[in-house]
Amino acid sequence: MSGNSFGQLFRIHTFGESHGHSVGVVIDGCPANIKLDIKAIQFELTRRKPGQSKITTPRNEQDSLEILSGIEGDITLGGPICITVKNKDQRKKDYTDIHKVFRPSHSDYTYHSKYQIHASSGGGRSSARETIGRVVAGAIAKQVIKKFVPEYDTIAFVQSVHQVNFKTSDYKEWNTIKKVRDDTEKSIVRCPHAETSQRMEECIVNAKSQGDTVGGVIQSMTYNTPVGLGDPVFDKLEANLAKAVLSIPACKGFDIGSGFSGTTMLGSEHNDAFYHKNNKVRTHTNHSGGIQGGISNGELIVLKAAFKPVSTIFKQQDTVSKTDLTKTVYKPQSGRHDPCVLPRAVPIVEAMVHLCIVDSLLKQRALQLNA
Amino acid sequence: MSGNSFGQLFRIHTFGESHGHSVGVVIDGCPANIKLDIKAIQFELTRRKPGQSKITTPRNEQDSLEILSGIEGDITLGGPICITVKNKDQRKKDYTDIHKVFRPSHSDYTYHSKYQIHASSGGGRSSARETIGRVVAGAIAKQVIKKFVPEYDTIAFVQSVHQVNFKTSDYKEWNTIKKVRDDTEKSIVRCPHAETSQRMEECIVNAKSQGDTVGGVIQSMTYNTPVGLGDPVFDKLEANLAKAVLSIPACKGFDIGSGFSGTTMLGSEHNDAFYHKNNKVRTHTNHSGGIQGGISNGELIVLKAAFKPVSTIFKQQDTVSKTDLTKTVYKPQSGRHDPCVLPRAVPIVEAMVHLCIVDSLLKQRALQLNA
Amino acid sequence: MSGNSFGQLFRIHTFGESHGHSVGVVIDGCPANIKLDIKAIQFELTRRKPGQSKITTPRNEQDSLEILSGIEGDITLGGPICITVKNKDQRKKDYTDIHKVFRPSHSDYTYHSKYQIHASSGGGRSSARETIGRVVAGAIAKQVIKKFVPEYDTIAFVQSVHQVNFKTSDYKEWNTIKKVRDDTEKSIVRCPHAETSQRMEECIVNAKSQGDTVGGVIQSMTYNTPVGLGDPVFDKLEANLAKAVLSIPACKGFDIGSGFSGTTMLGSEHNDAFYHKNNKVRTHTNHSGGIQGGISNGELIVLKAAFKPVSTIFKQQDTVSKTDLTKTVYKPQSGRHDPCVLPRAVPIVEAMVHLCIVDSLLKQRALQLNA
Amino acid sequence: MSGNSFGQLFRIHTFGESHGHSVGVVIDGCPANIKLDIKAIQFELTRRKPGQSKITTPRNEQDSLEILSGIEGDITLGGPICITVKNKDQRKKDYTDIHKVFRPSHSDYTYHSKYQIHASSGGGRSSARETIGRVVAGAIAKQVIKKFVPEYDTIAFVQSVHQVNFKTSDYKEWNTIKKVRDDTEKSIVRCPHAETSQRMEECIVNAKSQGDTVGGVIQSMTYNTPVGLGDPVFDKLEANLAKAVLSIPACKGFDIGSGFSGTTMLGSEHNDAFYHKNNKVRTHTNHSGGIQGGISNGELIVLKAAFKPVSTIFKQQDTVSKTDLTKTVYKPQSGRHDPCVLPRAVPIVEAMVHLCIVDSLLKQRALQLNA
């Protein structure tokens, strides 16, 4: 109810402020007796952590997970799994000025208006550190899905940064999951196309050098989703994915399949014709993005998430302050911020997709007569 | 849990198949002792109903609401409000062929896979008739919001049809809610700009004449939302709006504020500078779309919803059938379908926005010390 | 959230006031493609209906169900099932006086305080007519359970009326479900022991003749529940059953297994020793009432529900009125009320048990690796 | 959904096994900007902790709370509050035998059947240590309630132990909350009547000396509840209280107001006549237990909770084991168990009542027009 939970059967509750004791997550509804690969969970956290490359914030956090409950050795017990990560490099002083002024396009003003209080340092709950719990839970969700659907996978990558676009038809390896993943991880931007990745990196470095920031688009592709996931009418799979993606900090848009560009097509162009192959019903095109009538049809689930440029820039801006509503200015003197969130947002998008899929999958098992 | 409910405190449950006895909605959590304008609810239903103009389906439904519970005279009792609309013009025979073949880009295949059964006529739950319950509930939600925030309103309009775009800067009346509404309702397409509306209408008529269909974009603007609505982190106001909008049939994309186009801006261009006017904190620009950190900031909430072209076209298409998975073809002989859903989707988008706002508003009242 | 829903995966929403248009229920989460026995649903409604014997209220209602959605022919479609029953014998004038005075131990005062309005006739939502939706949903739930567990059954019966107790050890047929059911239904009180039933009937008739009312205890026994239902720690099976039972109008107490009487036993007397028979783990005694640690252990689930005497008596009582808070008196001139709710509450208790079991069963299927 | 959460607006999630790293709770929905008395929270934990007297288990735990999130200094931030208590005195070896055999009336068999795995030491989630999170959350809930209703309080006490009954009419101080609380806390049994407390203590010591255990009844009284809390029909206040109480380990029964004993009264005896005093509507008697029609009426909320005798006895018992389903015997050689849970269950009952009240209170604020 109060906004810090996601999912229904596989339900997560994140907690923690960016400069408090810890951030973490409670996962309720993870099936019992599953042997987890704990290193794989930590691996995802490391993909998300700050300081991983020259284009990410220099905040120095190891982000090592600590298991408080629900797992014995590496086996799930069926009870709630609580995993935390301590906040170490907090530097409370870095942020002393931010509570005097409302930083433009940050949540300072809205949090203050809603709660009449704000964490004294850092972004509190609006910090990207909150997503640590999502990444942990997503990594576990993926392992649970693979117990039921071994060939399942979701890969996200950066499709654009500012005005640098990755034309996905320029890349030829989409059908080899491992290759896509390896090529994506080789790139510090997380774009599998080396040449485009290089241009994106230059774009980010350039913005950073000017104290400015850039946004972009992440695309996510889910392979081998079983047919039948998603619940009409309000819990359509794409509706849950949209909510999942829009709940990520800085996300401003969501597309499934043809999305906005599909609005300029004719019905006769857009319809995905069915055919039959290897005992499966398939579609020739995939403008539907793997979901029809809110239910997965077995094709690749393709979605896009738009991220705005980071709000923290190192330029002077007009604003007002909590104590003086007349005009003031704001310019951070220093700080540890990403010039572009997209590279680190890739594992977060993947995590949110895993969480949607695992929840739909468990629900589907509950209601099918012959599950 | 099972997908037919939306909202938490102001919670709705829709029910009904397109060719069954009735469609309807149960609304639980409507405050007691509110005097409703029943005609205003019926008015919204009439905006959504088929056959309202030459560019909508000729299915002949009056869509008159019937109140089964929760309202006495026109006063809410505090208990669940059940309102139904009977299905009258069902013509079961129109659809006898559709259950032999899986119509391309319809939900026939996925419903069949998920449920192993499908309503014998029409789209069942995937029909747009399901949205009747949403429009009824949304109309009540709006009246509830206005009890607390009299100046509240949401207006949606058609921003594009196929390749016809309405450049919103060409229209000058955005600040006069009544004028925007009147101009929108004057247009059978529901675009407030008369000249663009005319071109959109021609585009739809032209597609129809060729047995084809078109999609487009609806924009929604919410005026006078109180500051403070929305719940970090998963129930951010934009996340709930995204889910609400993506749950509408045929919707494939969602944008809040600058959305996808904001991804090509620099942070220094995108940030919304605060200023102070008439004892209120305001922003000069509104790339945030009225929401920052998941919480409304009092500016106009601006969102876009992308709708694909309607799947029912009157052209022969390749497909497979339930009984024969090898190739077959499908061409509807007749039928009553919209060549473009957008004009009728406008009140549905508005309804979903009302439902998000009323729920956040009630939640906010619960948790504020000085509500 | 707002109190008119029960269950999570198999979720019901009841609606309707006693003197409004209809009462009914929406059931969301019923698996698709189940062939229902509609007559069996109507049969349960008829067990609950007024006027069924000389010891029940003479309100004349046929309580015939009408299916609005979710079922085609007699097959479930997987969407929400809406079933209504019209209110026919409303006699609004019978109740004109009750809204001037707060009838003692009725909900008049609390509803008025909470909602500042009350249905102008009858009890509104606090009427026992609300339970029609529960009985319909429970009857469907039972049929769903039996698809998975054919030997499942729940039988409730009247264990005491006022000071007339049925000593259950006096009855020898507990192991023959059909016999218990037949003997119970033969009795207009719904006590399977003919001699005790006769004494209970006399007690009720006697109270009625004096314008007074009586309460009592219903016992429910669930046969052949699968091992493993119920979710620690807050959704323990007995916790859900307790809520289910206490939500029935006039219910004031709940016992599982040894219940209150078990509090006077020693641990060495109370513990249920395990043994092994026919490849099953069983217990010699069943003080646990079929649930241990919140999870069913496969033994008979035995619970008791205490019902207070009906509040509507035909004697003059002191009270206050809405318009005059100083002393007034209340004496109904006529009216159609049960002198004892227990006979008609038996199918309601059964329905609530079915609803708890079906929900736990579906949840268990979702989370088991090898369901 | 998966059983470890309670409440809707003020929602808690407990986690942790008895012999794992920590136990704890996440509280979501606590209003922001409330100054908490942290010592008062720890005080309740200390009332619950083991080893507090000669009649409680000698397990040696300080049970010191640690705040991970949601509170800065002592002020709530509006985000989720995570509080943990480390498990220190775990003695894993104490329990090595218990996973070979199914201890009678414990959850060993049902957990094993449901999850196919069980925490290797201790009771895992079925341990009473899980209730630490409830007590922490309840203590915070109480402080939140008192922000809105300063005169609110709930006091529970032991009403019976085995066959020793406290006749509450023998105690004369019920109207002085502080006196009742002081007298209760003076007693190691937590019965405010000194002479009865002495006899209860003797009863417990006697059972312990024989390696046996005893149960009993706890009564809880809630003072100064606002009129209007509770939501018909399924979330009646007594239904929520029943679930809350039955979710406590070892609880087997629940009574509200007259409860089971009210079933032998006539309606004319049982009805609570209204009168008017000091501008308030009151009732002369309180057989309703402060709740009518599921909604609080402002009178004392009186409930009872039945607790069975503790299952761990130091006597040889017949049972079966996981590996050998034929007969075996079980006798704990040592262990640290309470001979009677009631003294330590008193603060847990209070906590569960606070949690029900705070949730109803926040919900009521959301839906009232003039809150």
pLDDT digits (tens, 9 = 90+) for B201-232: 999 999 999 999 999 999 999 999 999 999 99
| C172 CB-near residues (< 8 Å, 6+ apart) | none
DSSP classification of residue A316: -
In three state form, how does the secondary structure of B90-124 look?
CCHHHHHHHHCECCCCCCHHHHHHHHCCCCCCCCH
C7: closest CA among A119, A299, D234, D35? D234
Q: What is the mean pLDDT of residues A246-264?
A: 98
The neighbouring-strand residues paired with D15 are: D24
Place of tokens 């775990």: D90
Q: What are phi and psi of D281, to 5 degrees?
A: -85, 125
Helix (H) / strand (E) containing C254? strand C251-256
Tell me what the mean pLDDT of segment D280-290 comes to.
97
User: Given B29, B367, B368, which is nearest D367 (Cβ)?
Assistant: B29
What mean pLDDT comes out for the span B238-258? 98
Distance CA A85, CA B67 (A): 53
Q: Are strands C65-69 and C71-72 parallel, antiparallel or unpaired?
A: unpaired
pLDDT for B110: 95
- The Cα of B366 is separated from the nearest Cα of chain D by a number of Å equal to 4
Question: C87-117, pLDDT tens digit by residue?
Answer: 987 665 555 555 678 999 999 999 999 999 8
Q: What is the pLDDT of residue B335?
A: 60
Q: Do A79 and D17 touch (CB under 8 A)?
A: yes
Choose among D242, B78, D284: nearest CA to C251: D242
pLDDT at residue C120, as a whole number: 76
Residue D37's CB is within 10 A of a number of other CB atoms, namely 14
List all residues 6 or more positions away from A212 whose beta carbon is below 8 Å from its beta carbon. A309, A313, A314, A315, A339, B266, B267, B268
Arithmetic mean of pLDDT, C280-285: 96
SS3 at position D198: helix
Euclidean distance between CA atoms A342 and A338, whole angstroms: 9
Beta strand pairing call for D164-165 and D153-161: antiparallel
Average pLDDT over residues B98-110: 87
CB D163: neighbour CB atoms within 10 A?
12
Q: Return the ∠ at Cα A218 (arms to A213 and A222), rounded to 5°.
A: 160
| pLDDT for position C90 | 64
Question: Residue A47's pLDDT band (boundaries 50, 70, 90)?
Answer: very high
Q: Does B365 touch chain C (CB under 8 A)?
A: no
Q: CA-based angle C206:C208:C212, to the nearest 5?
A: 105
* A297-307 per-position pLDDT tens digit: 999 999 999 99
- 8 Å CB contact between B361 and B301: no
C10 with C144: CB under 8 angstroms?
A: yes
Taking the CA of residue C295 and the nearest CA in chain D, the distance in Å comes to 6
CATH number for the domain spanning C193: value is 3.60.150.10
CB-CB under 8 Å, B32 with D367: yes
List of chain B residues whose C-beta atoms are within 8 Å of the C-beta of residue A255: 252-253, 260, 306
Which of residues 127 through 186 in chain A touch C, CB cutoff 8 A? 147
Tokens (6 digits) for A42 = 């930590």
D58-74 burial: b if 16+ Cβ within 10 Å, else e: ebebebebebbbbbbee
Give the tens place of pLDDT for each residue, A84-104: 999 987 665 555 555 678 999
Three-state SS at A230: coil
Is residue B111 a contact partner of residue B124, using CB atoms and an 8 Å limit? yes
Amino acid in position D333: Q
At C184-202, the pLDDT tens digits run 999 999 999 999 999 999 9
pLDDT band at D97 (very low <50, low <70, confident <90, very high): low
pLDDT value at position B367? 86
- Of B20-29, B96-105, C37-46, C82-91, least confident by mean pLDDT is B96-105
Partners of D26 in the β-ladder:
D13, D82
Give the separation between CA B276 and CA B283, rounded to whole angstroms.
Answer: 8
Domain that holds residue C273: 5-370
Q: SS3 string of D290-314? A: CEECCEECCCCEEEEEEECCCCCCC
Q: Is the pLDDT of residue B331 over 60?
A: yes
Tell me whether residues C34 and A232 touch, CB distance under 8 A: no
Q: Give the per-residue pLDDT at A183.
A: 98
Helix (H) or strand (E) run with residue D25 in it: strand D22-28
- The predicted model gives C323-339 an average pLDDT of 79
Closest residue in chain B to residue A281, using alpha carbons only: B325
Q: What's the whole-number mean pLDDT along residues C258-266?
A: 98
Cα–Cα nearest to D311, from D107, D30, D51: D107
Other CB atoms within 10 Å distance of the CB of residue C309: 31
| pLDDT higher than 60, residue B126 | yes
CA distances from residue D334 to C255, D58, D331 in whole angstroms, order as listed: 32, 11, 9
CB C153 within 8 A of CB C177: yes
Rounded average pLDDT over B99-112 = 90
- Total number of domains in chain A: 1
In this prediction, residue A56 carries a pLDDT of: 84
For the cut 60, the answer to whether the pLDDT of residue D92 exceeds it is no
Q: What is residue B96's predicted lDDT score, i.e. its pLDDT?
A: 54
As a whole number, mean pLDDT of residues B122-148 equals 95
Query: Which helix (H) or strand (E) covers residue A181, if one does?
Result: helix A177-186
Lookup: tokens for C341: 């709710």
> Sorting pLDDT into bands at 50, 70 and 90, what band is D99?
low
What b/e string do you get for A66-77 counting C-beta neighbours within 10 Å, with b at 16 or more?
A: ebbbbbbeeebb
Quickly state the pLDDT bin for A279 (edges 50, 70, 90). confident
Strand partners, B255: A253, B304
* Predicted confidence (pLDDT) at residue B325 exceeds the cutoff of 90: no
Q: Give the residue with greater pLDDT, A1 vs B199.
A: B199
pLDDT above 90 (res D16): yes
Q: How far is C61 from chain B (nearest CA, A)?
A: 17
CB-based contact, D71 to chain C, within 8 Å: no
In the predicted model, what is the mean pLDDT of residues A30-42?
A: 97
The yes-or-no verdict on residue D101 having pLDDT over 80 is yes
Strand residues in chain A grouped as ranges (E): 5-6, 11-15, 22-28, 65-69, 71-72, 75-76, 81-86, 153-161, 164-165, 216-223, 251-256, 274-277, 280-283, 291-292, 295-296, 301-307, 317-320, 327-330
CA distance D139 to D142: 5
Among B77, B83, B8, B78, CA closest to B44: B83
Cα separation, C277 vs A186, in Å, equals: 61
pLDDT higher than threshold 70 for residue A144: yes
Percent helix, strand and coil across chain A, each to the nearest 5? 35, 25, 40
Reduce the DSSP state of residue C96 to 3 states and report it: helix
Q: What is the pLDDT of residues C220-236, one digit of tens each?
A: 999 999 999 999 999 99
- Asked if D369 lies within 8 A of B79 by C-beta distance, the reply is no
| DSSP structure class, residue A247 | T
The closest alpha carbon to A81, from B117, D21, B91, belongs to D21
Q: What would the two tokens of residue C296 be?
A: 């069913």
More confidently predicted of A298 and C60: A298
State how far residue A268 is from chain B, nearest Cα, in angstroms: 6
Q: Phi/psi at C172 (nearest 5 deg)? A: -110, 5
How many residue pairs from chains A and D have C-beta atoms closer than 8 A? 157
Chains interfacing with A (3 or more CB pairs < 8 Å): B, C, D
Report whether C220 contacts C305 (CB < 8 A): yes
Query: Is C371 within 8 Å of A362 when comparing Cβ atoms?
Result: no
pLDDT band of residue C144 (cuts 50, 70, 90) is very high
A267 pLDDT more than 80:
yes
Mark out the alpha helices in chain D (DSSP H runs).
Answer: 38-48, 108-115, 131-148, 177-186, 194-209, 237-246, 267-270, 342-367
Rounded CA gap, A235 and C29, in Å? 12
Write out the two tokens for D182.
């002081």
Mean pLDDT of B308-326: 89
- Does position A355 have pLDDT exceeding 90, yes or no? yes
CB atoms C363 and A79 under 8 Å: no
Dihedral of alpha carbons A224, A227, A229, A232, sign: positive
- Quote the pLDDT of residue B327: 80
Residue type, C255: D
Sequence-ordered list of residues with C-beta below 8 angstroms from that of B367, at least 6 positions apart, any chain:
A2, D9, D29, D31, D32, D78, D362
Model confidence pLDDT, tens digit, residues D108-167: 999 999 999 888 777 889 999 999 999 999 999 999 999 999 999 999 999 999 999 999
Residues 206-265 of D with CB under 8 A from B: 232
Nearest CA to B242 out of A258, A306, D366 is that of A306
Whether pLDDT at A17 is above 60: yes
Position C31 confidence tier, pLDDT thresholds 50, 70, 90? very high
- Pair A274, B108: CB distance under 8 Å: no
> Stretch D66-89: mean pLDDT, rounded?
95
- Dihedral angle of Cα C175, C177, C183, C185, to the nearest 10 degrees: 150
If pLDDT is split at 50, 70 and 90, which confidence band does D50 have?
confident
pLDDT for the residue numbered C55: 85
